[in-house]
Amino acid sequence: MSDEQLLLQEPIEEAEAPRHFPVSEQLGILAGILFLLLGTPQIAAFANLFIDEEESQEEEVANVEQSAAALASIFGDVRLGAQSAFVWDVKEQKALYIKNADERLPLASITKLMTALVAHEIMGTDAPITVTLEAISQEGDSGFRDGEQFSMQELLDLTLVTSSNDGAYSLAAAAGASVFTDQDSTVDAFVDAMNVRAREIGLTRTTFKNPTGLDLSETESGSYGSARDVSYLMEYLVQNYPEILERTTLSNHTVADSEGNIYQATNTNSTTRDIPGMVASKTGYTTLAGGNLTIAYDAGLNHPIVITVLGSSVDGRFEDVEKLVEATQTLLSNQ
């Protein structure tokens, strides 16, 4: 039996099977009492209530069993390269697929989802953000200039679409400085706020150490979290701040700074057009993390699904998510 098939036998947040009651014994006792008090018609009506409830419980148990069988049948053949994966049905509030979903793994640039959320909540959409030399010194080159300014929304778009470390650091520095003026390091204070916000949302297995997700060393990641937590974070953003993620569905996007200088942003998710109904996506990759990817898409008729894979490879993360999308669509079409 494969790892995936074994994991499908883990609890997948299904309702506990209703307990059955000894209906026949109860009716035997109650019948005598009711006969004395109410008469024959009332006995029959009361007995029917128990029978209807019993039938309803049996039907519910059957539905749960059929649902579990469908999940095992459809997802059982899925083979993933990812170390961890989670498929979350936002509409029904239930997990459709679990693979090591609570294991804490390096998040890499998926970290930038929380950076964007906290910066947006602190400063709003139109606040000006100034790029500093310290931001430009972060790994990677977005082509920014020292002192260049962007609106919050423009820099958010560029940061999430291209996974810009310069942009994420600029967001953290600006938002931190606007609130934590008495701190020695406003970026460190901002990261503390990211962790507080994670706990408020209910991300119990997530910890941030920087605003970019870059590895701190060969053995220490800039952030850790679980596939389940990442999926819940994506759900929170989609439901509360969809404007933050709107551009992450585009293959390419044009961004301008305050002086009108144009940046062409190419999405690090090369499969945005391959998944119908894409609502949001964010990639992540470092040496420690491997390939990470989280997406939200509409499975049809306002039925949002979030899929997260962690610990895959550069190309494998996209293949893993596409496999899970295909299996999810098959499951939903058979319901």
Give the burial class of 29: count Cβ atoms within 10 A of its Cβ; 0-12 exposed, 13-18 middle, 19 or more buried: exposed
Residues 302 and 244 in one domain: yes
Q: Which domain holds residue 230?
A: 84-333
Mean pLDDT of 103-125: 97
Task: Indicate if the pLDDT at residue 33 is higher than 50.
Answer: no
Please give the structure tokens belonging to residue 94. Answer: 């239930």
Give the model's confidence band at 25: pLDDT under 50 very low, under 70 low, under 90 confident, else very high.
very low
Sheet of 223-225, strand order: 105-106, 223-225, 207-208
- Residue that terminates a domain, selected from 45, 75, 105: 75
Taking the CB of residue 113, how many other CB atoms lie within 10 A of it? 24
SS3 107: coil
- Residue that terminates a domain, selected from 58, 75, 92: 75
Residues 52 and 137 in one domain: no
**What is the C-alpha to C-alpha distance for residues 158 and 29, in angstroms, rounded to an integer?**
72
Residues 38 and 140 in one domain: no
Task: Indicate if the pLDDT at residue 215 is higher than 50.
Answer: yes
Query: What pLDDT was estimated at residue 48?
Result: 56
Determine the straight-line distance between the first and last CA of the chain, rounded to whole angstroms.
Answer: 26
Residues 51 and 94 in one domain: no
Residues 191 and 252 in one domain: yes
Alpha carbon of residue 256 to chain centroid: 29
Please give the structure tokens belonging to residue 322. Answer: 């596409």
**Between residues 40 and 272, the one the model is more confident about:** 272
Give the model's confidence band at 8: pLDDT under 50 very low, under 70 low, under 90 confident, else very high.
very low
Residues 127 and 56 in one domain: no
SS3 324: helix
- In the block, tokens 């060393």 appear at 217
User: What pTM value is reported for the model?
Assistant: 0.80
CA-based nearest residue to 89, from 297, 242, 281, 245: 297
Please give the structure tokens belonging to residue 320. Answer: 């893993």
pLDDT digits (tens, 9 = 90+) for 275-285: 999 999 999 99
Residues 25 and 156 in one domain: no
Residues 190 and 103 in one domain: yes
Structural domains of the chain, count: 2
What's 3's DSSP letter?
H
- Residue that terminates a domain, selected from 52, 75, 98: 75
Residues 316 and 211 in one domain: yes
Query: What pLDDT was estimated at residue 180?
Result: 83
Mean pLDDT of 166-171: 97
H helix or E strand, kind and range, residue 283: strand 278-286
**What is the C-alpha to C-alpha distance for residues 279 and 272, in angstroms, rounded to an integer?**
9
- 42's CB contacts (< 8 A; 6+ apart) are 34
Give the burial class of 96: count Cβ atoms within 10 A of its Cβ; 0-12 exposed, 13-18 middle, 19 or more buried: buried
Residues 148 and 270 in one domain: yes
Residues 27 and 166 in one domain: no
**Between residues 27 and 214, the one the model is more confident about:** 214
Residue 283 belongs to a domain with what CATH number?
3.40.710.10
Task: Indicate if the pLDDT at residue 227 is higher than 90.
Answer: yes
Residues 137 and 21 in one domain: no
